[in-house]
């Protein structure tokens, strides 16, 4: 293209210089603050998707912004061949506030899960001296788009056209204990699970099931990996969702909310896994650089100082009550479920059109599978903002269900 592709903010198909890997909505967002976004035409939107559970502190949170600006004046990047004081501090903040003892920083959720899978294999092969490598995951799970993590993902749609897939993964249905027991063999190294299957339709794991998984891991000497990429960083009303269940995973991963919008990820693990990751065994150029570490520190400090997980729990209670009141008796709505501010509204039919209609009324939200509306407001969302969102949603769903019945 020789003309200015940004002239109207929206470029599609072969006019775009991008691979068309995303089915993008025809909106170009250019500014954000708190719960609000603006497009290039000046339209304002109430943001109930938070960049897919990324901007948990809202857009442009002041403390994180100030720390990032200060770091920009000091130092941007040095190699992990050197000590990075900010990275140590970010890791110490994470271990002080979780059950983990050690942290590896990377740049995304998929990378954090890759690190978890590699650590589990290496722990078995180098520390325990077994040849176990298999990771059991669950149908409808989502763990990322690298070759290993898309293989771990329990959804066929992400695997299409990418054969051959790496060996060492199998999925069983969530909450099917006999299937899980049958899948465990002498090659099994780990079980990887989300506390709420987010992309897969907003399905919280049953407490009894996760306790049984923990018991199976103990019995067979398997590592429990919890993928907290979407559920972590206060989203569900605890800093990490596994805290709701009173369990301590051997390994857990975090990314989306960890950097308030700056691309970061982390893999956290117990002290007995330290020996598995020795110098040279795993690395990434940009993991925990000074800038990344400053953003992570400021994000966690804000979470702790402002008691953000509790704010999320309180806002969630209010939002759930409002949703029940507005939609609970609507026959089009099959279920309203979730944990904290990760909420799914399961409908009788596909909801893609409702999402688009919502945009034209100034409310942004997403789906989780074809029939589920997914709400992911930032964790500071106010009661008036919740009232406004629920009123728009109720209007949309009532209109939509009337059309379907009429
Ligand atoms: C988004 C997500 C991932 C992948 O994270 P990326 O940063 O996109 O690589 C992995 N697991 C879960 C549960 C997620 O929601």
pLDDT for residue 1 is more than 50: no
Last residue of a domain, one of 260, 277, 305: 305
255 lines ligand 1 (CB under 6 A): yes
Q: How many domains does the chain have?
A: 2
- Do 251 and 336 lie in a common domain? no
What pLDDT, on the 0 to 100 scale, is given for residue 314?
A: 98
Helix residue ranges per DSSP H, 177-239 = 177-183, 207-220
**Residue 143 belongs to some domain of the structure:** yes
Q: Name, in order, each residue with C-beta under 8 angstroms of 155's C-beta and a sequence gap of 6 or more.
A: 139, 140, 141, 142, 199, 200
- Do 99 and 128 lie in a common domain? yes
- Do 314 and 286 lie in a common domain? no
- Do 246 and 109 lie in a common domain? yes
**Residue 160 belongs to some domain of the structure:** yes
**Residue 6 belongs to some domain of the structure:** no
Last residue of a domain, one of 249, 275, 305: 305
pLDDT digits (tens, 9 = 90+) for 149-162: 999 999 999 999 99
Instruction: Return d(Cα 367, Cα 202) in angstroms, integer.
Output: 10
Q: Answer with the residue of higher pLDDT: 404 or 298.
A: 298
What pLDDT, on the 0 to 100 scale, is given for residue 7?
A: 57
- Do 232 and 131 lie in a common domain? yes
- Do 80 and 220 lie in a common domain? yes
Cis peptide bond prior to 21, omega within 30° of 0? no
Centroid of ligand 1 to alpha carbon of 325 (angstroms) = 32
Residues 95/131, Cβ–Cβ less than 8 Å: no
The band of 2, judged by pLDDT with boundaries at 50, 70 and 90, is: very low
Beta bridge partners of 184: none
228 lines ligand 1 (CB under 6 A): no
252 lines ligand 1 (CB under 6 A): no
Among residues 61, 89, 43, 58, the alpha carbon closest in space to that of 341 is found at 58
Residue 163 Rama label (left phi>0; alpha psi -120 to 50; beta): beta
The band of 9, judged by pLDDT with boundaries at 50, 70 and 90, is: confident
| Residue among 21, 108, 114, 144 to mutate when testing ligand 1 (max atoms within 8 A of CB) | 144
**Residue 1 belongs to some domain of the structure:** no
Q: Residue range 353-371: average pLDDT?
A: 98
Got the DSSP string for 274-317? GGGS-TTSS--TTTT-HHHHHHHHHHHHHHHHTTHHHHHHHHHH
pLDDT digits (tens, 9 = 90+) for 186-204: 999 999 999 999 999 999 9
Last residue of a domain, one of 305, 327, 345: 305
- Do 107 and 179 lie in a common domain? yes
- Do 254 and 318 lie in a common domain? no
Q: Residue range 289-317: average pLDDT?
A: 98
**Residue 276 belongs to some domain of the structure:** yes
Percent of the chain with pLDDT over 90: 95
- Do 237 and 339 lie in a common domain? no
Query: Whole domain around residue 250: which residue ranges?
Result: 75-305
**Residue 4 belongs to some domain of the structure:** no
The band of 401, judged by pLDDT with boundaries at 50, 70 and 90, is: confident
**Residue 8 belongs to some domain of the structure:** no
pLDDT digits (tens, 9 = 90+) for 228-285: 999 999 999 999 999 999 999 999 999 999 999 999 999 999 999 999 999 999 999 9
Centroid of ligand 1 to alpha carbon of 143 (angstroms) = 6
Residue tagged 């025809």 (tokens): 26
- Do 136 and 274 lie in a common domain? yes
Q: What radius of gyration, in Å, describes the C-alpha atoms of the chain? A: 21
110 lines ligand 1 (CB under 6 A): yes
Instruction: Return d(Cα 254, Cα 268) in angstroms, integer.
Output: 8
**Residue 316 belongs to some domain of the structure:** yes
CATH classification at residue 393: 3.90.1150.10
250 lines ligand 1 (CB under 6 A): no
- Do 85 and 189 lie in a common domain? yes
CATH classification at residue 115: 3.40.640.10
Side-chain half-sphere of 294: how many Cα atoms within 13 Å?
17
Residue tagged 């709701």 (tokens): 244
148 lines ligand 1 (CB under 6 A): no
- Do 135 and 258 lie in a common domain? yes
């Amino acid at each position: 293209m020789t003309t200015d592709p940004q002239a109207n903010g929206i470029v599609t198909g072969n006019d775009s210089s991008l691979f068309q890997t995303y089915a993008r909505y025809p909106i170009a967002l250019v500014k954000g603050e708190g719960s609000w976004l603006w497009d290039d035409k000046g339209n304002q939107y109430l943001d109930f998707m938070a960049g897919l559970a990324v901007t948990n502190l809202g857009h442009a949170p002041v403390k994180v912004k100030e720390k990032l600006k200060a770091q920009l004046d000091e130092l941007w990047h040095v190699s992990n061949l050197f000590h990075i004081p900010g990275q140590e501090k970010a890791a110490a903040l994470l271990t002080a506030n979780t059950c983990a003892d050690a942290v590896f920083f990377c740049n995304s959720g998929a990378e954090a899960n890759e690190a978890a899978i590699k650590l589990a294999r290496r722990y078995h092969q180098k520390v325990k001296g077994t040849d176990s490598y298999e990771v059991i995951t669950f149908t409808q799970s989502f763990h990322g788009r690298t070759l290993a993590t898309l293989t771990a993902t329990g959804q066929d749609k992400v695997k299409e056209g990418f054969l051959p897939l790496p060996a060492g993964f199998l999925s069983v249905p969530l909450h099917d204990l006999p299937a899980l027991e049958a899948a465990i063999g002498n090659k099994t190294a780990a079980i990887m699970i989300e506390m709420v299957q987010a992309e897969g339709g907003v399905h919280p794991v049953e407490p009894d099931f996760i306790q049984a998984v923990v018991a199976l891991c103990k019995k067979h000497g398997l590592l429990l990996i919890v993928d907290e990429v979407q559920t972590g960083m206060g989203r569900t009303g605890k800093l990490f969702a596994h805290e709701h269940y009173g369990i301590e995973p051997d390994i857990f991963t975090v990314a989306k909310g960890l950097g308030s919008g700056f691309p970061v990820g982390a893999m956290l693990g117990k002290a007995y896994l330290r020996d598995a990751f020795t110098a040279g065994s795993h690395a990434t150029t940009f993991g925990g650089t000074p800038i990344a570490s400053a953003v992570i520190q400021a994000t966690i400090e804000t979470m702790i100082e402002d008691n953000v997980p509790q704010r999320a729990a309180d806002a969630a209670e209010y939002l759930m009550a409002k949703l029940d009141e507005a939609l609970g008796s609507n026959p089009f709505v099959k279920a309203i479920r979730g944990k904290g501010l990760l909420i799914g509204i399961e409908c009788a039919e596909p909801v893609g059109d409702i999402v688009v209609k919502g945009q034209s009324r100034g409310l942004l939200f997403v789906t989780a599978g074809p029939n589920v509306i997914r709400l992911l407001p930032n964790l500071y969302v106010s009661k008036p903002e919740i009232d406004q969102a629920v009123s728009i949603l109720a209007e949309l769903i009532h209109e939509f269900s009337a059309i379907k019945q009429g």
